[in-house]
């Protein structure tokens, strides 16, 4: 009789167990969603702080924690595992693999097909282009590989003709450059004293050269100083012009000085002295026609305006140098102008603007 109440209580407790477990699970679910909600709010707040972006990238995103079909872990059923080998599933797997291989092979062949189509379209467009179509057919008595030169040139497009120089051999390019250098050069006439050098009967050990000149049986020693950058200037302009020195000094003095400037006799091609000048107002003017009758192709650089009094539109003035400024750059300043003048048809069309 005493056992029956105990059994009844046990049966009642057993009956209440599923309901109690449901309540615990429900409380856990509510707590879980509350934590997810707080985590979402905190995550959204931290996203507004720039320097925490790298930290947040390592944390799970809130929407990844809960899905629309959320189910507690305790209630999730384990995924079924295949108990035995299925021949039909193996055949299906092989069929899928074959389809994948076929798609991969097709994707690899697609670029080759595209290149072939482009090549064929380029060939057809080239055949129909008026620029690439020969204007004349080769004579029938010539072999196919001996097309006339006129037809070959006509078959080139303007762009191909422009780019044909890029395919020339180094020897052809060098020959073209040599032909350009050997083309007729203009004449550059340079004054000597106070333009290229300065000399004085009184000097010091810093002089570049000393010259003993005998005039009327009287010996005189001169100290010669080169103008800054004169060696580089002469090397440069000798590549562009036929360089001539025209001075109002006597040959007995000027010849040794010119030898100092051009010791190998490769830069200066002509020398003119006082006897070639024209007397003018107790000084000397320089008639450029004595050097080159074509005055459109000759330039005179001189520190004295009286020197180009006869040919004012051919003169380029330069500041006199008397060994006073070791940092003088007047010769270097002339190089851009001289470089441009060598390409003009008439140098006077440019130099005459100085007189306007």
* Rounded Cα distance, 253 and 261, in Å: 13
Residue keyed to tokens 């051009």: 262
Catalytic residue among 96, 145, 191, 345: 191
User: Distance between CA 249 and CA 81 in Å, rounded?
Assistant: 115
d(CA 244, CA 291) in angstroms, rounded, equals: 9
CA-atom Rg of the chain in angstroms: 49
Is 101 annotated in the active site?
A: no
Question: HSE (CB half, 13 Å, CA atoms) of 139?
Answer: 6
Which residues are within 8 A (CB) of 129 and not within 5 positions of it... i.e. 6 or more apart? 157
Q: Please, what's the b/e burial string for 135-152 (b: 16 or more CB within 10 A of its CB; e: otherwise)?
A: eeebeeeeeeeebeeeee
Length of the chain: 356
In the residue annotation, 193 being an active-site residue is answered as yes
Contacts of 43 by beta carbon, 8 Å cutoff, 6+ apart: 56, 59, 61, 62
Catalytic residue among 96, 193, 259, 294: 193
Q: Say how many CA atoms lie within 13 Å of 342 toward its Cβ.
A: 21
Asked whether 201 and 225 are in contact (CB, 8 A), the reply is no
* Closest residue by Cα to residue 264 from 231, 298, 223: 231
Beta strand extents in 68-173 (DSSP E only): none
User: How big, in percent rounded to 5, are the helix, strand and coil portions of the chain?
Assistant: 50, 15, 35
Pairing of strands 270-272, 242-246: parallel
Which residues are designated catalytic?
191, 193
């Amino acid at each position: 009789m005493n056992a029956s109440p105990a059994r009844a209580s046990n049966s009642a407790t057993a009956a209440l167990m599923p309901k109690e477990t449901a309540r615990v699970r429900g409380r856990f679910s509510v707590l879980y969603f509350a934590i997810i909600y707080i985590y979402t709010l905190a995550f959204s707040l931290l996203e507004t702080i720039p320097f925490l972006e790298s930290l947040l990238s390592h944390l799970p995103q809130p929407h990844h924690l809960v899905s629309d079909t959320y189910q507690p872990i305790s209630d999730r059923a384990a995924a079924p595992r295949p108990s035995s080998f299925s021949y039909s599933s193996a055949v299906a797997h092989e069929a899928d693999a074959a389809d994948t291989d076929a798609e991969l092979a097709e994707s690899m062949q697609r670029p080759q097909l595209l290149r072939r189509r482009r090549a064929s379209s380029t060939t057809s467009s080239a055949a129909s282009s008026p620029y690439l179509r020969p204007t004349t057919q080769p004579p029938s008595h010539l072999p196919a590989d001996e097309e006339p030169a006129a037809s070959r040139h006509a078959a080139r497009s303007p762009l191909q003709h422009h780019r044909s120089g890029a395919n020339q051999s180094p020897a052809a390019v060098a020959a073209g450059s040599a032909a350009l250098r050997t083309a007729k050069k203009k004449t550059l006439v340079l004054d000597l004293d106070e333009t290229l050098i300065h000399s004085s009967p009184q000097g010091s050990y810093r002089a570049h050269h000393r010259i003993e000149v005998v005039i009327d049986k009287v010996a005189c020693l001169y100290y010669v100083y080169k103008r800054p950058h004169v060696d580089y200037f002469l090397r440069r302009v000798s590549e562009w012009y036929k360089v001539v020195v025209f001075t109002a000094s006597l040959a007995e003095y000027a010849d040794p000085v010119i030898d100092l400037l051009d010791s190998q006799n490769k830069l200066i091609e002509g020398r003119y002295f006082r006897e070639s000048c024209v007397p003018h107002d107790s000084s000397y003017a320089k008639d450029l026609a004595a050097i080159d009758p074509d005055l459109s192709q000759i330039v005179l650089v001189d520190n004295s305006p009286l020197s180009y009094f006869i040919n004012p539109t051919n003169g380029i003035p330069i500041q006199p140098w008397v060994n006073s400024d070791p940092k003088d750059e007047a010769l270097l300043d002339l190089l851009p102008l001289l470089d441009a003048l060598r390409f003009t048809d008439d140098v006077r069309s440019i130099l005459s603007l100085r007189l306007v």
